[in-house]
């Protein structure tokens, strides 16, 4: 199989894309076959993954060319020992109200500081985990003062219902259920404002990007097109997302509405990817995420800023998205 | 032929394994205290008959009664199978002890019982660490551990040398005579049949039916085994039964009526 | 007799009485199973109604509804995640089948060799014990790295999961081959592999079958783990997807699909077993 | 003789010649294992050097380093995730042990009952087959709903994982109890449960042991699944954590901890087996 | 006693199972073509001796040679064990066919071989669907399927009725005489020993040693079995051997030197 061979030769016309089951423009692209239309010569293989960790693994195995992946795993992937040769080429969405820290009614917790001595659940190694720790730090709560439990979102819901948890940092759709019997302490939208955004990124393997720059351009264009669709015709976008996630269109639209979807033009702003001339603040964001991981002893060393900046794929920006 | 007090009562018993009829219609009534010896060709149905009496097989037609009731394995009958069937997970002594335990008896008689069949110093051995004849004797000791009114023995002495065999024959005869047990004993040895039996039944070839049913009226009391064997009646019975066995083995299925060997 | 020594259909041709008894037994069996099913169904329905939380315990109705939804094309969507339930199941069954076959074959060979060749046992036994203690979830990512994300790692995972029961059961059974019969074969002039073929393996067959049945079960229960990555189509991928969106009714539907097809395969194996081992209990 | 009928220490007391032969055999065994270990080690080292990618295959040195790091307190951090390796392992072993004991005991009872009581077999067998086909990852969420996120659901999962091998092996062995010996016991007047105790169970013991060994192995390999939820401290939780951060050396270290302790327990079980079943191959 | 052309050569052979000495020092040389019958008490070591000759046991001291070489199971010797040891996964016919297959012979002689031991219509049966004596006969047919120069038989006819037994005895004697096979035959029947043996060896009680080693010089050619049994020498031999067996069984271990029974 293609695991070891990679996909770097210019005449190989296959794109292997990893997508995840979170509502984003990526699902619209897949559902409407936008990329297939844009690149009729290419064979496009969509593969569903359920975590950034497994996407990183698949990149290590040289089984992927393009992927939708959270910023936290990207920070890991760019750091030692992984040092995955991929580049960030797109911002799919920024976590907004679709990821939040909720305290269960009856736990007596009303703000983040009140979490001391309480039991909080979140899926480890996820963007939510990152946000939770950021929120605690912001509120001046030491991590050791809180019992943090590693649970998948569906398991959080189960434990929550039993009353085993006091709070949880989770995302949609289970977040909606949590909100019904709980109070939002802080959401990722607020953290983003406070300088700790978590994002879903599009990454491209370096080898693929240098071998097929035109394909990367096409991909960025259709992703931008999808973002436009989300902004202009949420119902149509929701319909596509719903089909991919086996949801009702209404559910999908509700979920989409809670995320932050950038305007294509904003992506090449200094706030995010930046341009060929000046790489944007996303690099700093990734470095700070890596620093955070280093504190957690989860990575060996924090990559320096220039290395990370090289891993931002700004080729052709801002014109490509223009 | 039937009597209410019969220890074993077979009425028109037939048994088939699938389409193989092993035992032709047999009617036999064994009064309590009788020592019945079954003789017959290999494969004529002796073991099957014993299994019917023990309750391990149900007759295809006819009825089997022991002590007036349908036989049930382990109830009132001691059984020595044709194979030793020792439990390999128990020692030799443990095999005998098991029989005592099932009967609710104390298990300290194990060594005594083993000595009774000529086995010393083997109680602690594993069942595969003794010879074939010794295994057979353990099976006998096991079956004799409990005093059952009925004893069913399927060629118990086949694997024993002449001397041991004679000793055990003598013991068995004495014990059964003294306690008044009923015995049904299968053997291929005509000598053994005459020596032990108060009645000898010769079966025809498969399906086994009664070819000869002979009371052995030897005067036993006070006679030493050798004296008994020296009696002229003894020799006569031997040759009569030996003859009948040879005859019966060659009798074809068709030539024999339900009543026994044709005159 | 009915309790301790169950009726053995193939070994003892029936007498007249036994034949009707068996027919009765068959009817009684079906009846018992139907009753058991009804009881389970009632329990389920009642629990679902009492709990009244379809996320935790979806009622039979909801699951039935999902069966229909996932088996048809609705609103332009084919089944679940673009595949009908039967397709998900089919893909997974194919994986389970291939994985089981490879695992069983390898386990059989390994078991026989370990049971018969001394030095291989000494070396291989610890390795097998070591490997079978390892959690598939722990080494699956290594498989991804080595074999990519397509069928290969899944088949490897399922094969490795299916191997140990067969290998261990076979090795144990082969190792305790009946001395008496092995000697009998040797006395007849059998060579080493003739002994294995004609004595050791037939004698081990009942245990090997137990091993195979366990192996298929283990392969089944590993299907979700195997399909964590690139698992759609696949019943394990379907379950995981549904789980993530708390579509418990779909999860339960998937569990039923797995359990019922597992039942079917086990029934086939048991039938084969009865056919192939008429001497059960006779050695 | 050495090939087909291996030396059975307990059954055939040694003659002079055999005794030295056995001592030699013991030394040869140790030697073989050491050689095998060295070969494996060399293979690992070479592969690691050739690959030169610690994420793919961390070298022995890296794993050794992690052993030291996770077993000591460095920079104010105790081991990994606040617990020493040995503590992670201890917690998991405790879970495995309890889960195995419960699973084995339940499987034994179930197996005996299924093997002896006809109507229970008819009803329970499909249920057991159904349940053992279900992937733990699929139904684990239900356990959380029922049992919370502490020890209980983990122990349930491990017990349920350990049950089927014992139940299936026991039921199969009990079902094929040797007719001849069962009859012998009945002829001696044994009652139903005496037969089970004195004939059926001893005869099934070798297969039961195989089942137990498999069960412990399955419990082991389920420990990561069981510790997906609130699994730290715990060797499974450690592995999961390390996996998500691609700390392959820690993952491999965890795998070693699991595999080696699994080897140890299996060796204990095998010793017990040899002791308890001197009649192996003799029935 | 020894000779270079001996089919079986035992020199000072002793065999112990742990601390149980089963066979005392035994020296025996069996020339090719001889029909040696071993007689002795149950548990005296006959089967062990046969297993030594077959190569299944290694002597604790001394050497065993067959055809001048160390014996190996399945090489040049046919063996009937004391138990039938049939393979339950094969049919009756399949058991016999296996022996032929191992010898590379065509398997179409199965029915003929079974008929040779008086078994008809059982080839398709399962091994537990035939009687004990029939099982024993299948084992004999299996061992006789291939023409080995040496035949080792451990109480092969113990479970057979007189008629079948005599027929098979006669067959065995005829076959071995005609083909010049060497036979070592274990039995408990003194009559059988005299009838079959060209030489009879009586063993003492455990550990088995040679108590009596007797050439049987009966004129066999052209005599019908009944005529043979009617000879006065026959009766004399019977009683001599019978006597020796009784004697030997009671001889204590100490009283007997390595040379045999004391005068
Ligand atoms: N594995 C063993 N361990 C210890 N003792 C044994 C073992 N096998 C046999 N024996 C003992 O060795 C002696 C000789 O056994 P063997 O089977 O040769 O006797 P045998 O002459 O064939 O007796 P039988 O006529 O009863 O078959 C017996 O006393 C027996 O108890
Ligand atoms: N399960 C079975 N199925 C079919 N036929 C059987 C079965 N068991 C026994 N038979 C046949 O029934 C007949 C009687 O068998 P049984 O064991 O009663 O003979 P037996 O008189 O004890 O012979 P032996 O003296 O050889 O032990 C035999 O011909 C045998 O082949
Ligand atoms: Mg019989
Ligand atoms: Mg013997």
List subunits contacting chain C, requiring 3 or more Cβ pairs under 8 Å: A, B, D, E
Ligand 2: nearest atom to the Cα of B188: 25
Nearest CA to ligand 2 atom 5: E129
Residue D95 covered by a domain: yes
D124 and D66 in a single domain? The answer is no
pLDDT for D9 equals 34
Mean pLDDT of the E61-88 span: 93
User: pLDDT band for position E251 (50/70/90)?
Assistant: low
pLDDT at E255 > cutoff 80: no
- pLDDT beyond 70 at D22: no
Residue in B73, B74, B83 closest to D180 by CB: B83
Min mean pLDDT across B164-173, B253-262, D205-214 is at B253-262
pLDDT of E131-175, one tens digit each? 999 999 999 999 999 989 999 999 999 999 888 999 999 999 888
Both D222 and D86 in one domain: the answer is yes
| Averaged pLDDT, C237-257 | 87
Q: Which domain holds residue B237?
A: 1-77+150-263
State mean pLDDT over A243-260.
87
Query: Is the pLDDT confidence value at A32 over 50?
Result: yes
**Are B70 and B102 part of one and the same domain?**
no
CB under 5 Å of ion ligand 4: residues: B 131-132; E 47, 82
From CA B157, how far away is CA B188, in angstroms rounded?
A: 10
Supply the mean pLDDT for chain A.
87
Q: Ligand 2 pocket by C-beta < 6 Å: which residues?
A: B 17-18, 20, 22, 40, 42-48, 82, 206; E 129-134, 159
Bridge partners of residue E66, in order along the sequence: E8, E69
CB contact under 8 A, C202 and E87: yes
Q: Tell me the average pLDDT across A81-92.
A: 89
Of residues D43 and C7, more confidently modeled: D43
Residue D148 pLDDT > 90, yes or no?
A: no
pLDDT tens digit sequence for B58-93: 999 999 999 889 999 998 899 999 999 999 999 999
Q: Give how far Cα B33 sits from Cα of A196, B150, B172, B234, C269, Å.
A: 102, 9, 13, 21, 54
pLDDT band at residue A292 under the 50/70/90 scheme: confident
Judge if D46 and D131 occupy the same domain. Answer: no
pLDDT of residue B93: 96
**What is the structure's pLDDT at B6?**
85
Instruction: Report residue B100's pLDDT band, with 50, 70 and 90 as the boundaries.
Output: very high
Residues E235, E109 share a domain:
no
Ligand 1, residue B130: give the atom nearest the CA.
31
Q: E72 and E58 in contact (C-beta within 8 Å)?
A: no
Residue C14 lies in a domain: no
The more confident residue out of A17 and D3 is A17
Q: Are residues C249 and C122 both part of a single domain?
A: yes
User: What's the pLDDT score for residue A206?
Assistant: 93
Mean pLDDT along residues C221-239? 88
Residues C234 and C97 in one domain: yes
A43-49 and A14-20 as β-strands: parallel, antiparallel, unpaired? parallel
Q: Is the pLDDT of residue E3 over 50?
A: no
More confident residue, C77 or B108: B108
Looking at the domain assignment, is residue D14 inside a domain? no
Q: How confident is the model at residue A36 (pLDDT cuts 50, 70, 90)?
A: very high
The string of pLDDT tens digits covering residues A222-235 is 999 999 999 999 99
Overall number of domains in chain C: 2
Same domain, E61 and E130: no
Alpha helices in chain A (DSSP H): 25-32, 34-38, 52-60, 71-78, 127-138, 153-162, 174-180, 188-193, 206-211, 213-232, 234-245, 249-258, 264-267, 282-295, 305-310
Residues B246 and B186 reside in one and the same domain: yes
Are residues B204 and B93 part of one domain?
Answer: no
Ligand 2 atom at shortest distance from the alpha carbon of B41: 25
Asked whether residue C19 carries a pLDDT value surpassing 70, the answer given is no
- CB-based contact D177 C5, cutoff 8 Å: yes
% of chain B exceeding 70 in pLDDT = 93
Residues D86 and D67 in one domain: no
C200 and C263: one domain?
yes
Task: pLDDT band for A272, please (50, 70, 90 cuts).
Answer: confident
D65 and D192 part of one domain: no
pLDDT at C277: 92
Please provide the average confidence, as pLDDT, over all residues in chain E. Answer: 88
State residue C13's pLDDT score: 32
- The domain boundary, picked from D74, D91, D106, lies at D74
Same domain, E167 and E246: yes
Q: C144-159 pLDDT, tens per residue?
A: 888 888 899 999 999 9
Tell me the percentage of chain D whose pLDDT exceeds 70: 91
Same domain, D191 and D148: yes
Same domain, B131 and B54: no
Per-residue pLDDT band for D21 (boundaries 50, 70, 90) equals: low
Identify which has the larger pLDDT, B198 or D32: B198
Indicate if ligand 1 lies below 6 Å from the C-beta of E17: yes
- At residue D150 the predicted structure's pLDDT band, cuts being 50, 70 and 90, is confident
pLDDT at D18: 43
Q: Which of D162, D163, D169, D165 is nearest to D204 (CA)?
A: D169
> How far is Cα A58 from Cα A60, in angstroms, rounded to an integer?
5
Taking residues E213-236, report their average pLDDT.
85
Q: H helices then E strands: how many in chain E? A: 8, 9
**Same domain assignment for residues D221 and D109:** yes
| Residues with Cβ within 8 Å of residue D71, at least 6 apart in sequence | D79, D84, D85, D86
- For the cut 80, the answer to whether the pLDDT of residue D114 exceeds it is yes
Residues B133 and B155 grouped into a single domain: no
Give pLDDT tens digits for B7-20.
999 999 999 999 89
Q: Please work out, in degrees rounded to the nearest 5, the angle formed at the alpha carbon of residue D114 by the alpha carbons of D113 and D117.
A: 65
Q: Does C168 share its domain with C231? A: yes
Question: Model-level pTM greater than 0.80?
Answer: yes
Based on the domain organization, do E159 and E251 belong to the same domain? Answer: yes
Q: Is the pLDDT of residue B229 over 70?
A: yes
pLDDT at site B59: 95
Here the CATH number for the domain that contains residue C272 is 1.10.3720.10
D39 belongs to a structural domain: yes
What confidence tier does C283 reach under pLDDT thresholds 50, 70, 90? Answer: low
The CA distance from E73 to E95, in Å, is 18
Res. A166: pLDDT tops 60: yes
* E156 and E233 together in one domain: yes
Dihedrals phi, psi of C220, to nearest 5 degrees: -55, -50
Domain membership flag for residue C5: no
pLDDT score recorded for residue B260: 39
- Does residue C16 sit at the B interface (CB-CB below 8 Å)? yes
CA of C12, closest atom in ligand 2: 1
In this prediction, residue E228 carries a pLDDT of 85
DSSP 8-state code for residue B109:
G
Distance of CA A127 to the CA centre of its chain: 7
E207 lines ligand 1 (CB under 6 A): no
Nearest residue on chain B to E83, alpha-carbon basis = B132
Q: Is D243 on the interface with C (CB under 8 A)?
A: yes
Is residue C4 over pLDDT 50?
no
CA pair distance C124, C163, nearest whole angstrom: 13
Average pLDDT for E26-46:
93
Domain that residue C99 falls in: 81-276
Same domain, D174 and D70: no
E171 by Cβ neighbours in 10 Å (0-12 / 13-18 / 19+) ranks as middle
Per-residue pLDDT, averaged over D26-37, amounts to 84
Count of the separate structural domains present in chain B: 2
Q: Residue A317: its pLDDT value, please? A: 77
CATH number of the domain within which E53 lies = 3.40.50.300
| Subunits in contact with chain D (3 or more CB pairs closer than 8 Å) | A, B, C, E
Residues E66 and E92 in one domain: no
DSSP state of A176: H
CB contact under 8 A, C149 and A21: no
User: Mean pLDDT across the stretch A182-202?
Assistant: 90
Chains B and A touch (3+ CB pairs under 8 A): no
Domain boundary among E147, E165, E189: E147
More confident residue, C142 or E119: E119
Indicate whether C6 pLDDT > 80: no
CA distance A260 to A96: 5
For ligand 1, whether the C-beta of B3 sits within 6 Å is no
| Per-residue pLDDT, A2 | 38
pLDDT above 90 covers a percentage of chain C that reads 50
The nearest CA of chain D is from the CA of A76 a distance in Å of 7
Q: Please compute the mean of the pLDDT values over residues A289-304 and round it to a whole number.
A: 83
Rounded distance between C-alpha atoms, residue D85 and residue C27, angstroms:
58
- Ligand 4 centroid to Cα of residue E153, in Å, is 10
Q: Contacts of residue A247 in chain C, CB cutoff 8 Å? A: 245
Domain end, chosen from B147, B165, B180, is at B147
Is residue D16 very low, low, confident or very high in pLDDT (cuts 50, 70, 90)? Answer: very low
pLDDT computed for residue B2 by the predictor: 42
ipTM of the complex: 0.89
Per-residue pLDDT tens over the stretch C48-92:
888 777 777 888 999 999 999 999 987 777 888 888 999 999 999
- Interchain pair D148, A162: CB under 8 A: yes
How far apart are the two ends of chain E, measured CA to CA in Å? 19
Q: Which of B147, B168, B192 is the last residue of a domain?
A: B147
pLDDT for residue C11? 32
Tell me whether residues E245 and B134 touch, CB distance under 8 A.
no
In tens, the pLDDT along D71-109 reads 988 777 788 888 899 999 999 999 999 999 999 999 999
Domain-located, residue D11: no
Encode burial over E130-155: b for 16+ CB neighbours within 10 A, e otherwise.
bbbbbbbbbbbbbbbbbebbbbbbbb
Are E156 and E257 in a shared domain? yes
């Amino acid at each position: 199989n293609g695991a070891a061979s990679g996909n770097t030769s210019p005449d190989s016309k296959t794109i292997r894309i990893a997508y995840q089951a979170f509502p984003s423009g990526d699902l619209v692209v897949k559902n409407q076959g936008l990329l297939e239309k844009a690149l009729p010569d290419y064979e496009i293989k969509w593969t569903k993954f359920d975590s950034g960790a497994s996407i990183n693994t698949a990149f290590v195995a040289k089984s992927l060319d393009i992927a939708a992946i959270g910023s936290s795993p990207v920070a890991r992937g760019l750091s030692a020992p992984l040092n995955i040769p991929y580049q960030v080429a797109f911002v799919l969405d920024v976590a907004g109200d679709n990821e939040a820290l909720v305290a269960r009614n009856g736990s007596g917790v009303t703000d983040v500081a009140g979490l001391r001595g309480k039991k909080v659940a979140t899926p480890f190694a996820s963007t939510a985990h990152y946000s939770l720790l950021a929120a605690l730090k912001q509120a001046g709560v030491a991590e050791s003062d809180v019992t943090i439990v590693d649970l998948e979102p569906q398991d959080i819901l189960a434990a929550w219902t039993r009353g085993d948890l006091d709070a949880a940092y989770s995302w949609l759709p289970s977040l909606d259920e949590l909100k019904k019997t709980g109070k939002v302490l802080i959401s990722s939208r607020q953290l983003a404002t406070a300088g700790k955004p978590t994002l879903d990124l599009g990454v491209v393997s370096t080898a693929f990007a240098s071998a097929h720059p035109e394909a990367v351009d096409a991909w960025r264009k259709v992703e931008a097109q999808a973002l436009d669709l989300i902004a202009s015709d949420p119902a149509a976008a929701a319909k596509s997302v719903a089909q991919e996630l086996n949801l009702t269109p209404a559910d999908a639209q509700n979920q989409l509405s809670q995320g932050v979807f950038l305007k294509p033009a904003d992506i090449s702003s200094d706030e995010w990817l930046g341009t060929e001339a000046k790489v944007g603040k996303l690099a700093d964001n990734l470095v700070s995420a890596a620093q955070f991981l280093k504190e957690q002893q989860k990575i060996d060393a924090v990559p320096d800023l220039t290395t990370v900046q090289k891993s931002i794929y700004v080729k052709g920006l801002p014109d490509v998205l223009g | 032929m039937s009597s209410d007090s019969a220890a074993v009562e077979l009425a028109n018993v037939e048994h088939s394994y699938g389409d193989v009829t092993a035992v032709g219609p047999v009617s036999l009534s064994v009064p309590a205290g009788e020592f019945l010896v079954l003789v017959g060709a290999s494969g004529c149905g002796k073991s099957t008959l014993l299994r019917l009496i023990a309750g391990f097989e149900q007759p295809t037609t006819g009825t089997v009664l022991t002590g007036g009731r349908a036989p049930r394995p382990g109830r009132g009958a001691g059984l020595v199978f044709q194979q030793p069937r020792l439990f390999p997970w128990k020692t030799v002594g443990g095999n005998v002890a098991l029989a005592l335990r099932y009967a609710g008896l104390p298990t300290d008689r194990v060594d005594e019982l083993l000595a009774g069949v000529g086995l010393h110093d083997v109680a602690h051995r594993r069942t595969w660490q003794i010879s074939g004849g010794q295994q057979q004797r353990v099976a006998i000791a096991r079956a004799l551990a409990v005093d059952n009114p009925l004893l069913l023995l399927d060629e118990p002495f086949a694997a024993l040398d002449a001397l041991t065999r004679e000793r055990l024959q003598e013991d068995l005869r004495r014990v059964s005579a003294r306690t008044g047990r009923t015995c049904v004993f299968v053997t291929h040895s005509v000598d053994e049949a005459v020596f032990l039996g108060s009645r000898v039944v010769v079966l025809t070839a498969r399906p086994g039916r009664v070819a000869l049913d002979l009371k052995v009226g030897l005067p036993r009391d006070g006679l030493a085994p050798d004296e008994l064997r020296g009696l002229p009646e003894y020799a006569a019975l031997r040759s009569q039964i030996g003859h009948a066995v040879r005859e019966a083995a060659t009798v074809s299925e068709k030539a024999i009526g339900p009543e026994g060997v044709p005159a | 007799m009915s309790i301790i020594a169950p009726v053995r259909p193939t070994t003892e041709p029936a007498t007249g009485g036994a034949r009707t008894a068996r027919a009765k037994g068959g009817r009684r069996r079906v009846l018992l199973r139907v009753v058991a099913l009804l009881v389970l169904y009632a329990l389920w329905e009642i629990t679902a109604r009492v709990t009244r939380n379809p996320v935790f315990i979806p009622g039979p109705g909801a699951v039935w509804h999902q069966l229909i939804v996932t088996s048809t094309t609705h609103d332009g969507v084919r089944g679940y995640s673009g595949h009908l339930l039967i397709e998900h199941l089919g893909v997974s069954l194919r994986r389970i089948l291939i994985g089981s076959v490879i695992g069983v074959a390898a386990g059989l060979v390994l078991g026989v060799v370990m049971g018969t060749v001394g030095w291989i046992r000494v070396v291989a036994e610890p390795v097998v014990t070591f490997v079978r203690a390892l959690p598939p979830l722990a080494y699956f990512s290594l498989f991804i790295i080595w074999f990519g994300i397509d069928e290969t790692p899944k088949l490897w995972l399922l094969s490795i999961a299916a191997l140990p029961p067969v290998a261990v059961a076979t090795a144990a059974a082969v190792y305790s081959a009946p001395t008496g019969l092995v000697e009998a074969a040797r006395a007849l002039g059998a060579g080493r592999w003739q002994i294995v073929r004609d004595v050791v393996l037939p004698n081990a067959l009942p245990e090997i079958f137990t091993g195979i049945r366990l192996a298929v079960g283990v392969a089944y229960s590993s299907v979700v783990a195997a399909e964590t990555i690139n698992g759609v189509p696949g019943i394990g991928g379907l379950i995981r997807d549904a789980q993530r969106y708390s579509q418990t009714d779909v999860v339960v539907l998937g569990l039923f699909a797995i359990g019922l097809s597992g039942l079917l395969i086990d029934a086939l194996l048991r039938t084969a077993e009865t056919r192939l081992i008429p001497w059960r209990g006779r050695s």
